[in-house]
Amino acid sequence: MIASLGSVTVVARTCAETDAWATALMVLGPDKGATLARQTGLDALFLLRDDDASLRGVGVGGLFSEEPAAIASAGER
């Protein structure tokens, strides 16, 4: 199962900080991005798209669970 990074959401004090961190983590990818988020104490949610088009979220920080969670696709809601 190969996952591609769909999006990154970051919770920070300002919109500019949130946007900058989310962009940087997106560019780094799920592995290096999550490592950096942990090292810097960020609250971030990485949405990964698996090769079967399902989504799963991996959270970093106190606001999000570190356990991967399946996310229903639009057709499953």
Over residues 14-23, the pLDDT tens digits come to 999 999 999 9
What does pTM read for this prediction?
0.77
**Rounded to 5°, angle at Cα 45 from 39 and 46:** 95
> Residue 33 is encoded by which pair of tokens?
């991005």
**Helix, strand or coil, per DSSP, at residue 35:** helix
Q: For 48-61, what is the mean pLDDT?
A: 82
Per domain, the residue ranges of the chain are 3-76
In 3D space, the residue among 23, 30, 27, 76 whose CA is nearest the CA of residue 53 turns out to be: 76
Separation CA 9–CA 35 (nearest Å) = 15
